[in-house]
Amino acid sequence: MKMGRLAVTGVAVVVLSTAGACTGADEPAASSAASSPSAESAPAGSSAASKELAAAATKLTEATGKMHVTMAGGLTGDGAFDTPAKAVTMTMNLTGLGEVAVRQLGNDLYLKFGGAAAKTFGTKWMHVDASKMPTGSSLSLERNDPRNTAKMLSTTSDVTKTGTGDYSGTMDYSKAPGITAELLKGLNGTDTLVPFTAEVNSGGYLTHMTMDLEAIAQGAGKVDATYSDFGSKVDISAPAKSQTVEMPASVLQSFGG
């Protein structure tokens, strides 16, 4: 079921690359521009605005909170993250396919499908050890390290502060951690610069980010992520073993595993 597989891949990319949960980082992230690894490692050409924004993205990866994601094609998602516990949960709704639930605790990733997609993928939670996925897989820890956004922002020199807590600029998709030559080849030589806008609240947290993927892939549209309720109590647990199966090889292939 080609459409179903494409939807699964989209869910993985959106959930795991935008969620504020830690998925394999060994060292803790810093919470200010002065101490942030992203800010300290930023190249000399990076602007003060890019360093501020990178610090805000890094601070997000230290917190608990909630998130809302929208994407082209009628995809929406709501969830929560608990970085200290290395956990994230999200429920996605895909037009024509139904509901997709995602949970991640450390290296353990779980997916469950509802609606039309359940006829293809079943109704139980599918488990995979994300630490064993190759770099080219959309499930790999390298590609989905939550600090990647901060790393990308810290290497961007054209970020502009457009107002109090408001930023805009471009990120180079080709420099994203975990991006492989095969993925770049799929762009067929098109520009790899992705325009974005972002918002940071008075507490220094990244609260909103929109990336215009249409610039590099026709039909991809925009990915819009909102983060809120920082410090709220989040309870995320693994599904019951009786309701869990190992992810089939056919599904792993959909993710490039």
Tens-place pLDDT, residues 10-54:
443 434 344 433 333 333 333 333 333 333 333 433 578 888 888
Q: What was the pLDDT predicted at 205?
A: 93
Q: What architecture (CATH level 2) is domain 2-254?
A: Clam (2.50)
State yes or no: pLDDT of 181 exceeds 80. no
Average pLDDT over residues 147-159: 68
The whole-model pTM stands at: 0.76
Q: What token pair was written down for 129?
A: 């050890």
Strands 64-71 and 75-82: antiparallel
d(CA 59, CA 205): 6
Are 31 and 96 in contact by the 8 Å Cβ rule? The answer is no
Least confident among 22-36, 63-77, 203-217: 22-36
